[in-house]
A and B are shown apart, each in its own frame.
Chain A
């Protein structure tokens, strides 16, 4: 019995999990109640996923051992079963039927060779012993339940024909197939766009109320927690540091780690009233105490008195996707259509948009990783199409690219020193040997690492450290423009806050310009001088950050802003109703998408003619 007078459906008692000799979870205890959502929050390495895999006993396969503790699960009345004492055969009956799970990656958790109907039916036939015909009817009902339009036709489709959001809804439908008592959702919306995330969260909340099930919601996103949770468990390095009701955690967090986590979350709207981006001090945890570090200053580095460093004019990029029998292109993906913007020295321009908006394609074209179909890119007053080979190679020195995934963008077989030295040696900036080695050491120190780390391999670093290595490499050739393609998205919030400050410090000291490609509105608000909002390869709104965020003129921008979950449980709101998926940007060759001409509504604030 507990404070609400409810019996917990899941009671975790002093659970410890270890892999080999290394303990991953230490003495974790918490309860999950029917009809309520318990959010488990923590950064990478906190053990939150191991916890969920341990409840399902899927961690056994990875070699986990459980030295102590109990996981009591009571599906009905009376004493529950200890899941740690069940054998795998007994667990197999519980999995999917009593406890269901949703994973992060909707792209890979459906089997590509079976139809949606087949996969939904499999669960129903397996656990509920239904006939195939019955199962099909039930499958259709489930798809309606997760608000998928045209459910009947969808049953015969294959996973690749569905968008990410639709697939995740199919995953939810599959998880709910046997009306589980407990649903474990492991970062279910992390891989999705904000508007799609908002929709999925709404569906999950409604379904929970309808079915009265308990939910464990694992996430790193404080905004999502505030939106979804009733109770919160904060995990740090395998231990529970704090637990309580969601309002309590957000209004008066007690543990310093929780306070640091909350302080690190960028809050949408926090920049109201400031004309420039602001570098804010960092709240860090030192010896169990919270300390503020670094200065608080305006980032007034942008210089608008000189001509722009980069000017993009009428840029169009498309990919051929479908060919006729005779090899003639019939359909094209019009990834970018007539986009234009400029970036001034010392300025940060953010390109925001959801997946498929063409924001990365633009970045890659500027970096010459992609050919453009039309339009021109001017760098330092020179058109790229007129540049000779040597000048183009020089451009690769002056423009640097930072990728989203610091795990994937470093060669695993080379030391980080080698990776950082590569641009220096490629462009012959310094002599091989001692001078280069010294410079690599300097660069590593510049990004807050130490020079002797040069001889280590990427796998020896954490995600945040790796992204610092990538930044050091980008700085190595003394560039003037850095394209940061979702460079902060894969990082934990506390690390993200550090890297944001690093970006700002470097901008101030080296006079760098940034093209900051992101989907995260709160980070964009914090970092950028000007913002361009992209939708299906066209600019919907472009202007100063204050204009776009505070005097929003285009409905799509409003939609994006309202979809961002706020890290404040008292501010839960009914969102702008979102309907449908983002349409495809693939069109027949002879019918390209219509263009939305931009109109200037205030000085420097352009908005597309409304069509969406």
Chain B
């Protein structure tokens, strides 16, 4: 219905939004347009290995042990990292939230099935699951994302189920039922908007987590092709040179930091924007 609140411009253009948008937007922009902005990263040139950053205009972030440009690798590696981070989180949010809503709202047999699946899921060690997964399906980007979704939807399902259990006893849900609103509409209109706050927070945390998890998986040989650059992979590679060539790991680390920080800021902003009471402490 069209009972929109008066424009909330002040809150819309908050500091959080501007900073978050600049950080995340900048990173995403560099990654998306990396092909036009930077030289292709694959070239190995041992004559220019381990160059310091900010010395050579062609290698602004320096070069790594094989003489590859760090800046270009950070930009291209972002593709894999951002894809893994965002797609895996979006997948687990969609699946987990739906499962949580169903089990929390309808209870009974649905609740039993979903929660027992969740328990089984939680009982399986992640590494064991990863090894089995890769052994059967092989390592690829899609499989890594699927693996992360399979192992993480439970968090969202449990979080959402808990919130739904308290929400469904609240009087405004009861009064919607008393009016005769259908269950689907109650879930979409009244329950979902009221539990998105904690889900958004968990999402922002998991994006960072998953970017790093991807590198762990690759490190163990359970992820994607290790020759394709990714932020997590670069961090792992640079570790051995940390004392002599800090830039190899610091720049991908900074990229992750900017992404996560920007995302957190946007997450906070979104949560405030969604909450009409604006009770958040500042």
Contacts and interface: CB of A to CB of B under 8 A. Distances in A.
Given A426-B185, A457-B276, A459-B276, A415 B180 contact: no
Nearest to A397: B180
B1 A425 contact: yes
Contact of B5 (A432, A437, A455): A455
Contacts of A417: 1, 3
A410 B172 contact: yes
A415 B175 CA distance: 15
Interface in B147-198: 170-172, 174-182, 185, 189-190, 193-194
Contact of B179 (A396, A408, A418, A457): A396
Bin the interface of chain B by size: 20 to 34
A409 B277 contact: no
Nearest to B196: A413
Contacts, number: 90
A422 interface: yes
Nearest to B3: A417
Interface in B258-282: 274-277
B6 interface: yes
Contacts of B2: 433, 437
B9 interface: no
A149 B275 CA distance: 49
A409 B172 contact: yes
Interface stretch (A12-20, A340-348, A398-406, A555-563): A398-406
A436 interface: yes
B4 interface: yes
A97 B5 CA distance: 50
A254 interface: no
Nearest to A454: B3
B155 to A, nearest CB: 23
Contacts of A401: 175, 178
Contact of A413 (B175, B182, B274): B274
Nearest to B173: A411
A412 B176 CA distance: 13
A436 B1 contact: yes
B277 A412 contact: yes
A414 B180 contact: no
Interface in B115-173: 170-172
Contact of B275 (A413, A423, A427): A413
A422 B181 contact: yes
Contacts of A400: 178-179
B3 A418 contact: yes
Contacts of A369: 174, 177-178
Question: Of residues B3, B176, B185, B190, which shows the largest number of chain A Cβ atoms within 10 Å of its Cβ?
Answer: B3
B3 A455 contact: yes
A455 B178 contact: no
A411 B185 CA distance: 13
A403 B274 contact: no
Contact of B180 (A416, A426, A473): A426
Nearest to A405: B171
Interface string A441-480: 0000000000000111101000000000010010001000
Contacts of A109: none
Contacts of A367: 178
Nearest to A395: B180
A352 to B, nearest CB: 21
B181 A426 contact: yes
24 contacts: A369-B177, A393-B180, A397-B180, A401-B178, A403-B171, A403-B175, A409-B175, A410-B172, A411-B172, A411-B176, A412-B194, A413-B190, A413-B194, A413-B275, A415-B4, A417-B3, A418-B3, A426-B179, A454-B3, A455-B6, A456-B5, A457-B276, A459-B277, A477-B179
Interface of A: 367, 369, 393, 396-397, 400-401, 403-405, 408-418, 421-423, 425-427, 432-433, 436-437, 440, 454-457, 459, 470, 473, 477
Interface of B: 1-6, 170-172, 174-182, 185, 189-190, 193-194, 274-277
Given A411-B172, A422-B181, 11 more contacts: A367-B178, A396-B178, A412-B276, A413-B190, A414-B189, A415-B4, A421-B1, A426-B180, A427-B180, A455-B4, A470-B175
